[in-house]
A and B are shown apart, each in its own frame.
Chain A
Protein backbone atom coordinates (compact mmCIF):
# COMPACT_ATOMS: atom_id res chain seq x y z
CA UNK A 1 0.00 0.00 0.00
CA UNK A 2 1.28 3.43 -0.95
CA UNK A 3 -0.80 6.15 0.60
CA UNK A 4 -0.97 9.77 1.75
CA UNK A 5 -3.73 10.02 4.29
CA UNK A 6 -4.96 11.78 7.40
CA UNK A 7 -5.82 8.66 9.37
CA UNK A 8 -3.51 6.30 11.20
CA UNK A 9 -2.85 2.69 10.20
CA UNK A 10 -2.75 -0.59 12.04
CA UNK A 11 0.93 -1.50 11.84
CA UNK A 12 0.37 -5.05 13.08
CA UNK A 13 -2.08 -5.53 10.23
CA UNK A 14 0.50 -4.26 7.74
CA UNK A 15 3.06 -6.74 9.11
CA UNK A 16 0.53 -9.55 8.89
CA UNK A 17 -0.26 -8.69 5.28
CA UNK A 18 3.42 -8.36 4.36
CA UNK A 19 4.19 -11.92 5.40
CA UNK A 20 4.20 -14.09 2.33
CA UNK A 21 6.04 -17.00 0.83
CA UNK A 22 9.72 -16.20 0.46
CA UNK A 23 9.83 -13.38 3.02
CA UNK A 24 12.59 -13.85 5.57
CA UNK A 25 12.76 -10.36 7.06
CA UNK A 26 10.44 -7.43 7.59
CA UNK A 27 11.78 -4.01 8.60
CA UNK A 28 9.40 -1.40 9.96
CA UNK A 29 10.24 2.30 10.02
CA UNK A 30 7.87 4.38 12.11
CA UNK A 31 8.49 8.13 12.09
CA UNK A 32 6.79 9.79 15.06
CA UNK A 33 5.95 13.35 16.09
CA UNK A 34 8.74 14.11 18.56
CA UNK A 35 8.13 16.20 21.64
CA UNK A 36 10.34 19.16 20.82
CA UNK A 37 8.32 21.45 23.04
CA UNK A 38 5.55 21.55 20.47
CA UNK A 39 1.80 21.17 20.79
CA UNK A 40 1.08 19.54 17.45
CA UNK A 41 2.54 19.07 14.02
CA UNK A 42 0.78 20.03 10.81
CA UNK A 43 1.70 18.22 7.62
CA UNK A 44 0.90 19.33 4.11
CA UNK A 45 1.51 17.65 0.75
CA UNK A 46 1.35 18.41 -2.93
CA UNK A 47 -0.65 15.23 -3.00
CA UNK A 48 -0.77 14.09 -6.60
CA UNK A 49 2.94 14.68 -7.12
CA UNK A 50 3.89 13.29 -3.70
CA UNK A 51 1.92 10.09 -4.25
CA UNK A 52 3.45 9.59 -7.68
CA UNK A 53 6.90 10.09 -6.19
CA UNK A 54 6.25 7.63 -3.33
CA UNK A 55 5.19 5.03 -5.89
CA UNK A 56 8.35 5.63 -7.88
CA UNK A 57 10.52 5.32 -4.76
CA UNK A 58 8.81 2.02 -3.91
CA UNK A 59 9.45 0.70 -7.42
CA UNK A 60 13.08 1.82 -7.36
CA UNK A 61 13.66 0.24 -3.94
CA UNK A 62 11.97 -3.00 -4.97
CA UNK A 63 14.17 -3.27 -8.03
CA UNK A 64 17.40 -2.18 -6.38
CA UNK A 65 17.16 -4.30 -3.22
CA UNK A 66 15.10 -7.22 -4.49
CA UNK A 67 12.25 -6.41 -2.11
CA UNK A 68 9.15 -8.54 -2.03
CA UNK A 69 6.87 -6.14 -0.22
CA UNK A 70 6.74 -2.37 0.32
CA UNK A 71 4.19 -0.25 2.17
CA UNK A 72 4.61 3.51 2.51
CA UNK A 73 1.98 5.43 4.43
CA UNK A 74 2.65 9.14 4.93
CA UNK A 75 0.17 11.03 7.03
CA UNK A 76 -0.91 14.65 6.58
CA UNK A 77 -3.06 16.99 8.62
CA UNK A 78 -2.68 17.78 12.31
CA UNK A 79 -0.89 15.21 14.43
CA UNK A 80 -0.28 15.17 18.16
CA UNK A 81 3.03 14.38 19.83
CA UNK A 82 3.58 10.63 19.70
CA UNK A 83 1.45 10.03 16.63
CA UNK A 84 2.76 8.20 13.60
CA UNK A 85 3.87 10.40 10.69
CA UNK A 86 5.36 7.87 8.31
CA UNK A 87 5.24 4.11 8.29
CA UNK A 88 7.42 2.10 5.94
CA UNK A 89 7.09 -1.67 5.85
CA UNK A 90 9.68 -3.53 3.81
CA UNK A 91 9.75 -7.28 3.27
CA UNK A 92 12.62 -9.16 1.68
CA UNK A 93 14.21 -12.56 1.62
CA UNK A 94 17.00 -11.52 3.96
CA UNK A 95 17.62 -8.82 6.57
CA UNK A 96 20.38 -7.07 4.63
CA UNK A 97 18.07 -6.25 1.72
CA UNK A 98 15.23 -5.30 4.03
CA UNK A 99 17.36 -2.90 6.10
CA UNK A 100 18.97 -1.32 3.05
CA UNK A 101 15.67 -1.01 1.22
CA UNK A 102 14.02 0.65 4.20
CA UNK A 103 16.90 3.13 4.55
CA UNK A 104 16.81 3.92 0.85
CA UNK A 105 13.09 4.69 1.02
CA UNK A 106 13.22 7.05 3.99
CA UNK A 107 16.20 8.96 2.61
CA UNK A 108 14.53 9.28 -0.80
CA UNK A 109 11.36 10.60 0.82
CA UNK A 110 13.28 13.22 2.77
CA UNK A 111 15.18 14.28 -0.36
CA UNK A 112 12.42 14.51 -2.87
CA UNK A 113 8.78 14.14 -1.92
CA UNK A 114 6.80 17.40 -1.74
CA UNK A 115 5.58 17.20 1.84
CA UNK A 116 6.12 19.84 4.51
CA UNK A 117 5.89 19.88 8.30
CA UNK A 118 5.01 22.75 10.57
CA UNK A 119 5.64 22.52 14.28
CA UNK A 120 2.87 24.24 16.21
CA UNK A 121 4.07 25.73 19.47
CA UNK A 122 2.45 27.80 22.19
CA UNK A 123 3.98 30.87 20.50
CA UNK A 124 2.79 30.10 16.99
CA UNK A 125 4.44 27.81 14.51
CA UNK A 126 7.62 27.14 12.57
CA UNK A 127 8.14 25.29 9.31
CA UNK A 128 10.63 22.48 9.56
CA UNK A 129 13.50 23.17 7.15
CA UNK A 130 14.27 20.43 4.65
CA UNK A 131 17.44 18.41 5.07
CA UNK A 132 18.14 18.82 1.36
CA UNK A 133 18.40 22.46 0.39
CA UNK A 134 16.62 22.32 -2.93
CA UNK A 135 14.42 19.28 -2.44
CA UNK A 136 12.92 17.33 -5.30
CA UNK A 137 16.36 16.26 -6.37
CA UNK A 138 15.03 13.22 -8.19
CA UNK A 139 12.04 14.86 -9.84
CA UNK A 140 12.40 15.91 -13.44
Chain B
Protein backbone atom coordinates (compact mmCIF):
# COMPACT_ATOMS: atom_id res chain seq x y z
CA UNK B 1 0.00 0.00 0.00
CA UNK B 2 1.43 3.36 -0.99
CA UNK B 3 0.63 6.82 0.40
CA UNK B 4 1.99 10.31 -0.13
CA UNK B 5 3.00 12.49 2.81
CA UNK B 6 3.78 16.15 2.29
CA UNK B 7 5.30 18.57 4.75
CA UNK B 8 5.19 22.34 4.49
CA UNK B 9 7.11 25.35 5.81
CA UNK B 10 9.39 24.57 8.77
CA UNK B 11 8.38 20.92 8.77
CA UNK B 12 9.38 20.65 5.10
CA UNK B 13 12.83 22.02 5.85
CA UNK B 14 13.37 19.32 8.46
CA UNK B 15 11.65 16.33 6.90
CA UNK B 16 11.46 16.91 3.16
CA UNK B 17 8.84 18.09 0.76
CA UNK B 18 7.18 14.88 -0.26
CA UNK B 19 7.60 11.30 0.83
CA UNK B 20 6.05 8.30 -0.87
CA UNK B 21 5.71 5.68 1.83
CA UNK B 22 4.96 1.98 1.65
CA UNK B 23 2.74 1.14 4.59
CA UNK B 24 1.18 -2.02 5.92
CA UNK B 25 -2.51 -2.66 6.46
CA UNK B 26 -3.85 -1.10 9.64
CA UNK B 27 -1.28 1.70 9.91
CA UNK B 28 -2.76 4.71 11.68
CA UNK B 29 -2.11 8.29 10.71
CA UNK B 30 0.05 9.04 13.77
CA UNK B 31 2.05 5.84 13.22
CA UNK B 32 2.72 6.78 9.63
CA UNK B 33 3.92 10.30 10.42
CA UNK B 34 5.88 9.08 13.43
CA UNK B 35 7.78 6.55 11.29
CA UNK B 36 8.65 9.16 8.68
CA UNK B 37 9.58 11.84 11.21
CA UNK B 38 12.04 9.52 12.95
CA UNK B 39 14.59 10.24 10.23
CA UNK B 40 15.21 13.66 11.72
CA UNK B 41 15.09 14.18 15.47
CA UNK B 42 14.49 17.92 15.19
CA UNK B 43 11.67 17.31 12.74
CA UNK B 44 10.18 14.66 14.99
CA UNK B 45 10.36 16.95 17.99
CA UNK B 46 8.71 19.75 16.03
CA UNK B 47 5.67 17.55 15.40
CA UNK B 48 5.49 15.28 18.45
CA UNK B 49 5.85 16.04 22.15
CA UNK B 50 7.86 13.96 24.62
CA UNK B 51 4.91 11.56 25.03
CA UNK B 52 4.68 10.94 21.29
CA UNK B 53 1.51 12.99 20.90
CA UNK B 54 1.02 15.57 18.19
CA UNK B 55 1.91 19.03 19.38
CA UNK B 56 -1.22 21.16 19.66
CA UNK B 57 -0.28 23.47 16.79
CA UNK B 58 0.24 20.70 14.22
CA UNK B 59 -2.28 20.68 11.39
CA UNK B 60 -3.10 17.47 9.52
CA UNK B 61 -4.99 17.05 6.30
CA UNK B 62 -5.98 13.79 4.65
CA UNK B 63 -7.01 14.04 1.01
CA UNK B 64 -7.42 17.82 1.44
CA UNK B 65 -9.69 17.51 4.47
CA UNK B 66 -8.65 18.59 7.94
CA UNK B 67 -8.14 15.90 10.54
CA UNK B 68 -8.48 16.83 14.20
CA UNK B 69 -5.22 15.73 15.83
CA UNK B 70 -7.22 14.35 18.76
CA UNK B 71 -8.92 11.94 16.35
CA UNK B 72 -5.89 11.14 14.22
CA UNK B 73 -5.35 7.71 15.75
CA UNK B 74 -8.80 6.69 14.52
CA UNK B 75 -7.66 7.18 10.95
CA UNK B 76 -6.29 4.07 9.26
CA UNK B 77 -4.41 5.13 6.15
CA UNK B 78 -5.57 3.75 2.82
CA UNK B 79 -3.79 3.14 -0.46
CA UNK B 80 -3.42 6.38 -2.41
CA UNK B 81 -3.96 8.66 0.57
CA UNK B 82 -2.51 12.15 0.32
CA UNK B 83 -1.47 13.34 3.78
CA UNK B 84 -0.31 16.88 4.57
CA UNK B 85 1.39 17.98 7.79
CA UNK B 86 2.09 21.61 8.54
CA UNK B 87 2.41 24.33 11.17
CA UNK B 88 -0.06 27.23 11.67
CA UNK B 89 -0.69 29.24 8.55
CA UNK B 90 0.69 32.77 8.06
CA UNK B 91 -0.40 34.03 4.67
CA UNK B 92 -1.66 37.43 3.66
Contact = CB atoms under 8 A, between A and B. Distances in A.
A114 B8 contact: yes
Nearest to A128: B90
Size bracket, chain A contacts: 35 or more
A140 B90 contact: no
A21 B92 CA distance: 30
Interface stretch (A11-19, A48-56, A92-100): A48-56
Contacts of A115: 89-92
A135 B88 contact: yes
A82 B90 CA distance: 18
Contacts of B57: 133-134
A133 B88 contact: yes
Interface of B: 6, 8-10, 12, 56-57, 59, 61, 64-66, 84, 86-92
Interface of A: 31, 43-46, 48-50, 52, 74, 85-86, 106, 109-118, 127-136, 139-140
